[in-house]
C-alpha cells in the first residue's frame, strides 16, 4: 500500500506525562477546544456545517484572536496561523519538533493532521485524529484520493459506537480500526483492547487518537481481518466498521473490501465465531448484495457461524445506480474528468450485472456466542428512525431470547411481566365507529417499534405491572369479555412471546 503522497504523521506517543501529546491535550482542554466549546463558539448552524465538511460558516465565526478561535482555524479548518498566536496557546516548539505542526511561510505554522473534538458517552472530552481534509466522509467527497488515507468520524462510525453493547469486559477487539474511534470507546469498559488494520498509517493515527484523548494505549497489530490474531486468541467483544463497499477493485483501502462482491463482510461474519468467548458479542456494519432469484434474508442467514445467536437489521437498500453514484461521489470522482467518471460508473454497473446484483443493502449485524442447542437467527428490515445509543436495547434483545428459550407456554403463563417504559396505545378506525379496526402498541424509545395487537393483547399489555401472572390476567380478561378462559390461555402465549421478543413486555 502506498502512502508516499500523504504528509508525515506526528511522532508516536511515548509513555509518561512528559510526552508532548499529553501537554498538547492539556492545552486543548485549557482553551475549551471541546465539543461543547465548539458549539458555544460557532453556534449550531456552523457547527453542523462542519459535520458536512463545509467550512465557510466556521471561518466567518473565527475571525477573532482568542485561543479557541486560533485552535479551530489551525486544527479544524486547516488554515495557517501566525506563529506568535499559536505560541500563546500551545507548546509550539515541541509541537513542531514532534510533527503536530509544520512551518508555513516565514511566520506561520500549520497542522499536519485534523484534530476534532468528540464528546464521549459520559461527557468525556476526546479528540479524533485523521488526515487533513478527511475528518468527515460522505457524499461530498473526502478531499483525498490516496489509497492509504485515514478518515475521521462519520455517520457509520457513530452508528456502530451507538449500537455496541457496553458492559465491562476483559478483552475487546476492533477490526479495521481506522482513526481509532471504536477502540477509544472500548477502552472505557474493556481491560484489554486490541486494534488491527491493514493500513499501518491507521494504526499510527489510532495511537495518536487514544493518547490525545487520555485513553490507555491499545495493542496495535497490522494485517487484514483475523490475520494479526494468534491461534486460539478469543475476545469478549469484537467490533468492526469494515471496508464494506462493494466495488470493482480495491481503490481506497479505508472503504473498498477488495474481495468479490460482499465476500469481505461474509468472511468477517463467518470467521468471528471461533474468536468469541461464551456470551461474547460481535457487532459489525455491513453491505450485502440483493441477487436476482435469491432471498436476501436467506443469504445473510447463511453467513451466521455455528454456535451464535444473530440479530441482523437491514436499515437501507439502494439500487445499483444509486449505490455506484454514492461511492463515486464519496471519492470525489464527480468533480474530476467526466470521461473518467463515466468509465468508473460503467465498470461498477458491469460488475453488478455480471453477478446479477439488483440492489445493495446496508445494516447492522450482531452476533452472540451461545451454548443454546438451537441458536436464534433474526433477520429483519427496519428502515424507520431509532433512538441512539442502542447498546442496552441490543443487549436486552438477547436477554429476552434467553428468557423465551427457557420458558415453554406453561412457564410463560406462570410468569410476571411489566409493560416497557414509554409504550403508548393507538386505536385506528373510522370516525364514530364503536370499536377500532385495530390497536397499535408503539415504543417511543430504542427501536421505536410498532406492532398490531387484538383487544385481548392490548388489554393484557395495559395491566402488566409485574404483580399478577400472565395466566391470572388472561383469566380476568376472559371473564370480562365472556370467553372460555382455557381457550384464551391456549391462543394467547404466541402473542405474549411476540410482545416480549420485540421489547414491549419485560419479564418481571
Instruction: Report the distance separating Cα 480 and Cα 138, nearest Å.
Output: 57
Whether 500 and 507 have beta carbons less than 8 Å apart is answered as: yes
**pLDDT for the residue numbered 18:** 56
Can you say whether the dihedral through the CA atoms of 167, 171, 176, 182 is positive or negative?
A: positive
Instruction: Report the distance separating Cα 317 and Cα 363, nearest Å.
Output: 9
The tens-digit pLDDT sequence of the chain (508 residues) is 555 578 899 998 875 445 899 999 999 999 999 999 999 999 999 999 988 888 999 999 999 999 999 999 999 999 999 999 999 999 999 999 999 999 998 899 999 999 999 999 999 999 999 999 887 643 334 455 677 889 999 899 999 999 999 999 999 999 999 999 999 999 999 999 999 999 999 999 999 999 999 999 999 999 999 999 999 999 999 999 999 999 998 777 778 878 889 999 999 999 999 999 999 999 999 999 999 999 999 999 999 999 999 999 999 999 999 999 999 988 788 888 999 999 999 999 999 999 999 999 999 999 999 999 999 999 999 999 999 999 999 999 999 999 999 999 999 999 999 999 999 999 988 888 877 888 999 999 999 999 999 989 999 999 999 999 999 999 999 999 999 999 999 999 999 999 999 999 999 9
Instruction: Report the distance separating Cα 324 and Cα 321, nearest Å.
Output: 5
**pLDDT for the residue numbered 142:** 47
Instruction: Report the distance separating Cα 44 and Cα 287, nearest Å.
Output: 32
User: Could you tell me how far CA 458 lies from the centroid of its own chain?
Assistant: 34
pTM recorded for the entire structure? 0.94
What residues contact residue 324 under an 8 Å CB cut-off, 6+ apart?
345, 348, 349, 352
**pLDDT for the residue numbered 505:** 98
Question: Three cell numbers at 453?
Answer: 395487537
Quick one: DSSP state of residue 251? -
Edge-first strand listing for the sheet containing 169-175: 219-222, 190-197, 169-175, 235-240, 276-291, 357-369, 308-319, 377-381
- For residue 109, what are the β-bridge partners? 81, 103
**pLDDT for the residue numbered 294:** 97
Long-range pairs for 32-37: beta carbons < 8 A, 24 or more residues apart:
32/68, 33/68, 33/71, 33/72, 33/75, 33/117, 34/117, 34/119, 34/125, 35/117, 35/118, 35/119, 35/125, 36/119, 37/68, 37/117
Whether 474 and 487 have beta carbons less than 8 Å apart is answered as: no
Instruction: Report the distance separating Cα 332 and Cα 334, nearest Å.
Output: 5
**pLDDT for the residue numbered 14:** 74
Instruction: Report the distance separating Cα 285 and Cα 300, nearest Å.
Output: 13
Say whether 349 sits in a helix, a strand or coil: helix
E-state strands within 218-332: 219-222, 235-240, 276-291, 308-319
Instruction: Report the distance separating Cα 93 and Cα 79, nearest Å.
Output: 18
Amino acid at each position: 500500500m502506498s502512502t508516499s503522497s500523504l504528509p508525515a504523521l506526528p511522532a508516536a506517543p511515548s509513555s509518561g506525562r512528559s510526552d508532548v501529546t499529553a501537554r498538547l491535550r492539556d492545552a486543548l482542554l485549557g482553551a475549551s477546544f471541546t465539543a461543547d466549546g465548539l458549539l458555544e463558539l460557532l453556534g449550531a448552524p456552523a457547527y453542523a456545517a462542519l459535520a458536512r465538511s463545509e467550512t465557510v460558516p466556521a471561518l466567518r465565526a473565527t475571525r477573532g484572536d482568542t485561543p479557541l478561535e486560533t485552535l479551530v482555524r489551525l486544527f479544524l479548518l486547516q488554515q495557517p496561523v501566525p506563529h506568535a498566536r499559536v505560541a500563546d496557546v500551545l507548546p509550539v516548539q515541541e509541537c513542531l519538533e514532534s510533527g503536530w505542526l509544520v512551518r508555513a511561510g516565514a511566520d506561520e505554522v500549520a497542522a499536519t493532521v485534523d484534530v476534532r473534538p468528540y464528546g464521549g458517552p459520559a461527557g468525556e472530552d476526546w479528540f479524533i485524529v485523521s488526515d487533513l481534509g478527511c475528518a468527515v466522509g460522505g457524499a461530498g467527497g473526502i478531499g483525498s484520493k490516496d489509497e492509504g488515507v485515514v478518515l475521521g468520524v462519520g455517520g457509520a462510525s457513530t452508528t456502530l459506537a451507538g449500537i455496541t453493547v457496553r458492559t465491562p469486559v476483559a478483552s475487546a477487539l476492533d477490526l479495521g480500526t481506522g482513526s481509532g474511534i471504536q477502540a477509544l470507546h472500548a477502552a472505557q469498559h474493556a481491560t484489554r483492547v486490541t486494534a488491527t488494520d491493514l493500513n499501518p498509517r491507521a494504526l499510527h493515527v489510532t495511537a495518536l487518537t487514544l493518547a490525545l484523548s487520555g485513553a490507555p494505549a491499545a495493542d496495535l497489530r497490522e494485517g487484514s481481518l483475523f490475520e494479526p490474531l494468534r491461534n486460539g486468541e478469543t475476545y469478549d467483544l469484537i467490533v468492526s466498521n469494515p471496508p464494506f463497499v462493494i466495488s470493482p477493485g480495491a481503490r481506497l483501502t479505508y472503504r473498498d473490501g477488495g474481495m468479490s462482491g460482499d465476500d469481505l463482510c461474509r468472511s468477517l461474519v463467518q470467521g468471528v465465531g471461533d474468536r468469541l468467548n461464551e456470551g461474547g458479542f460481535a457487532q459489525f456494519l455491513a453491505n450485502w448484495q440483493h441477487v436476482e432469484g435469491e432471498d436476501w434474508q436467506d443469504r445473510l442467514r447463511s453467513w451466521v457461524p455455528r454456535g451464535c445467536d444473530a440479530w441482523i437489521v437491514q436499515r437501507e437498500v439502494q439500487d445499483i445506480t444509486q449505490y455506484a453514484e454514492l461511492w463515486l461521489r464519496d471519492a470525489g470522482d464527480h468533480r474530476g474528468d467526466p470521461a473518467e467518471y463515466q468509465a468508473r460508473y460503467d465498470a461498477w454497473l458491469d460488475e453488478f450485472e455480471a453477478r446479477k446484483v439488483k440492489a445493495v443493502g446496508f445494516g447492522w449485524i450482531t452476533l452472540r456466542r451461545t451454548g443454546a442447542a438451537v441458536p436464534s437467527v433474526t433477520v429483519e428490515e427496519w428502515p424507520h428512525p431509532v433512538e441512539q445509543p442502542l447498546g442496552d436495547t441490543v443487549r436486552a434483545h438477547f436477554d429476552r431470547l434467553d428468557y423465551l428459550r427457557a420458558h415453554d407456554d406453561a412457564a410463560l403463563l406462570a410468569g410476571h411481566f411489566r409493560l416497557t417504559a414509554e409504550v403508548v396505545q393507538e386505536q385506528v378506525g373510522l370516525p364514530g365507529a364503536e370499536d377500532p379496526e385495530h390497536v397499535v402498541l408503539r415504543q417511543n424509545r430504542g427501536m421505536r417499534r410498532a406492532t398490531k395487537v387484538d383487544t385481548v393483547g392490548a388489554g393484557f399489555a395495559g395491566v402488566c405491572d409485574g404483580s399478577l401472572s400472565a395466566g391470572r390476567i388472561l383469566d380476568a380478561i376472559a371473564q370480562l369479555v365472556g370467553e372460555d378462559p382455557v381457550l384464551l390461555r391456549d391462543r394467547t402465549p404466541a402473542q405474549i412471546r411476540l410482545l416480549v421478543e420485540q421489547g414491549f413486555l419485560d419479564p418481571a
